[in-house]
Amino acid sequence: MRPDFWPALRSPIPWALLALAATMPFLLPNYYLHILTITLVYAALASAWNIVGGIAGQISLAHSLFVGAGAMLASALLVKLGINMWLGMIIAAAASAAMGAAVSFIDYRFRLGHLSFALITMAFAEMAEIYVTNTEFLGGASGLFLPKDKGDLLAFQFGGINGVYWIMLGMAAACVAVNFAILSSPLGYNLRSIRDNENAAQAIGVGLLRNKTLAMTISAVLTSIIGTIYARYLAFVDPYLLVSPVLTIEIVLFATVGGLGTALGPALGAFILAPLGEILRGHLGGFLPGLHYFVYGLVVVGVILLMPAGVWPSLRDRVLRKPAAAGN
């Protein structure tokens, strides 16, 4: 049985964990706090992707579009037009929602199979990178520099790493909570029925367009907001990092390793892989570039062969000594 959303929200455990996590800036040196912040970014991104890719089973490779919109568009609005980044974040989120809805509509209208959906979204991602790196307004190939972070909350400045860490912690927690909420709501049941058999779901009256669009829009908005915060944290907004299809591949990889379609799995996947990658890159990147991606590759191949459902479902079943419920 899946824990219901409201009891889980009332239970003290998640809140205690959250409070503990919130004290980290006082305990950890900056280097490790930076790694933790990056990890939270990826945990949030993987959780947001999971709504579409895991729960609804739609292999979207277009999420770099939404991260890119959140990061590049909000930054460009600030740097080029002087629009407040909070407003920019909302505009970017709205743009992402529109793009997400358009992708879902195309998917619905042309009844794309899983493979076609993956390929088309990948083409969109490639096109987005080409478009952004060639568009002067969005920073072109050289990217954008955001003004210095002076800690002015009204201007979307969080006063250095501590502030960003707290914001990202809240964001990651929110993404996981949204996953929980969707899983225990009618939307979650609809999405899972679509994932398991689209035609059967439609036959029993699950609206494909409505549910898919809703899932994609929620995911796109969350992803876009994370993108804006990440851009603010990085201060240098690099299209080859933030609009790159490689970013999507990383997100999908973390979610798969952690456990697709579960509320906690994708975040767990990010917590396993992102720090590992950062530390490997930090310590060995100098003389062995590419090592951390190589290790990612090993981990993903190993996890898929040894625990195809992902790390979190395997752990949970081992601890609870229950047979794996299919796909939960």
Residue 232 or 292 having the CB closest to other proteins = 292
Residues 86-115 that bind other proteins (CB under 8 A): 106, 110, 112, 114-115
What's the min distance (Å) between Cβ of 222 and other proteins?
A: 20
Q: How far is the CB of 219 from other proteins (least distance, A)?
A: 16
Q: Are 320 and 272 in contact (CB under 8 A)?
A: no
CB atoms within 10 A of CB 9: 13
Site string for other proteins, 294-323 (x = CB under 8 A): x-xxx-xx--xx--x---------------
Whole-angstrom distance, CA of residue 122 vs CA of residue 238: 20
Instruction: Report d(CA 97, CA 222) in Å as an integer.
Output: 9
Applying CB under 8 A, the span of 1-9, 15-23, 176-184, 251-259 interacting with other proteins comes to 251-259
Q: Residue 195 Cβ, how far from other proteins at the closest point, in Å?
A: 10
Q: How many residues bind other proteins (CB under 8 A)?
A: 42
* DSSP track, 210-236: HHHHHHHHHHHHHHHHHHHHHHHHHSE
CB 323 within 8 Å of CB 317: yes
In the list 289, 318, 322, 325, the residue contacting other proteins (rule: CB under 8 A) is 289
Q: CB atoms < 10 A from the CB of 24, how many?
A: 16
SS3 17: helix
Q: Among 89, 237, 252, 264, which residue sits at the site for other proteins (rule: CB under 8 A)?
A: 252
Comparison of 235 and 246: residue with beta carbon closer to other proteins = 246
According to the binding rule CB under 8 A, does residue 131 interact with other proteins?
yes
123 binds other proteins (CB under 8 A): yes
Strand partners, 144: 237
At 293, which helix (H) or strand (E)? helix 291-306
CA–CA separation, 65 and 76 (whole Å): 15
User: Rule CB under 8 A: which residues touch other proteins?
Assistant: 53, 57, 59, 106, 110, 112, 114-116, 118-120, 122-124, 126-127, 130-131, 134-135, 245-246, 249, 252-253, 256, 260, 288-291, 293-294, 296-298, 300-301, 304-305, 308
